[in-house]
Amino acid sequence: MHLIRVLILLIPLKCILFVGSWIEKNSRDKIILATKAAGGARGMEWVRGGNHAFNRTNLRGALEGSLKRLKTDYIDLYQLHWPERNTPMFGNYLFDPEQEREYTAFAETLEALSELIKEGKIRNIGLSNEWPWGLMQFLNASERDSLPRVVSMQNAYNLINRTYDSSLREMGYRENVPLLAYSPMAFGHLSAKYIRLIFLMILHSAMKSQRLFQLLVLMRILRKTYKFHLPLWHWRLLIRVGSVPVLLLAPPLWIN
């Protein structure tokens, strides 16, 4: 069984067409295909001409476009990507009422998706980059109006972003809405792909805080004694919070 997740927003159109050609040549019943409809949280006027509302017209148009590009008759998991309403996004965690805007009622969105499910074009629906209030509103509307229920939540989850643990983990467990974790490498930060840039930032921060000596000593201990290179984005954090002496006593903890 193959699981293919296609995010049209971030993949060039030609790549989407290549995926569609591959799907067309393989057994569709052996593929679990997931894709998304973008909400209005990030603007992006080039997506559906800026029409990001999760209403009947936009959702149908988005789905029909995906089906055509992917050369398939149905989507196994159709996700609402980024809430349409005002929510904290990408690194922000504080809700700002000043950014409030109108958004489609949750029941109206589920009604539109229900029509597409009855037509056989969608098998299941999920959410992405959602918050506790939004998830509960969808679940409540589903139960109240006998509408399709959300089956999954796709949010970022990695060593430096554990927001899900404090805000959604209990809810996902009790409501049986599992997490489909994305960005396990924190957009590349955990892979050290930005190491040169971060190293310059670290040195600048260390020099400003006059902790450069401690930083260099700690780096040498970890490299020589434990043969371990701590991801450099940690150094800037450690310098800022002044916890270098603590790490000198317990480097195995970071290795594990």
Measured CA to CA, the distance from residue 66 to residue 16 in angstroms comes to 9
What does residue 99 show for φ and ψ, rounded to 5 degrees?
Answer: -95, 10
Mean pLDDT of the region 123-127: 97
Residue 34, pLDDT score = 92
Range with the lowest mean pLDDT among 124-128, 135-139, 167-171?
A: 167-171
**How does pLDDT run across 59-74, given as a tens digit for each residue?**
999 999 999 999 999 9
Chain-centre distance for alpha carbon 149? 20
Give the CATH number of domain 2-188; options: 3.30.70.20, 3.20.20.100, 3.40.800.10, 1.10.3720.10.
3.20.20.100
Residues 6 or more apart whose CB falls under 8 angstroms from that of 150 comprise: 125, 126, 127, 135, 138, 139, 142, 177
Kindly write down the DSSP assignment for every residue of 1-65, as one continuous string. -EEEEE-TTTS-HHHHHHHHHHHHTS-GGGEEEEEEEE-STT--TTSGGG----SHHHHHHHHHH
- Position 212 pLDDT exceeds 80: no
Contacts within 8 Å (CB) and 24+ apart, 184-192: 184/157, 184/158, 185/158, 186/156, 186/158, 186/159, 186/160, 186/161, 189/160, 189/231, 189/233, 190/158, 190/159, 190/160, 190/231, 192/229, 192/231, 192/232
Q: How confident is the model at residue 250 (pLDDT cuts 50, 70, 90)?
A: very low
Range with the lowest mean pLDDT among 37-51, 76-90, 140-154, 202-216?
A: 202-216
Residue 249, pLDDT score = 35
Beta bridge partners of 5: 34
Residue 163, pLDDT score = 87
Residue 186, pLDDT score = 81
Measured CA to CA, the distance from residue 10 to residue 22 in angstroms comes to 19
Range with the lowest mean pLDDT among 11-25, 129-143, 158-172, 208-222?
A: 208-222
From edge to edge, which strands make up the β-sheet containing 122-128? 2-6, 31-38, 75-81, 122-128, 150-154
Mean pLDDT of the region 177-199: 77
Residue 10, pLDDT score = 47
What does residue 5 show for φ and ψ, rounded to 5 degrees?
Answer: -110, 125
Mean pLDDT of the region 70-90: 91
Measured CA to CA, the distance from residue 36 to residue 152 in angstroms comes to 13
Average pLDDT over the chain reads: 78
Mean pLDDT of the region 159-173: 89
Residue corresponding to tokens 């939004």:
134
Residue 173, pLDDT score = 95
Mean pLDDT of the region 136-161: 94
pTM, rounded to two decimals: 0.72
Question: Which one has a higher pLDDT value, 165 or 41?
Answer: 165
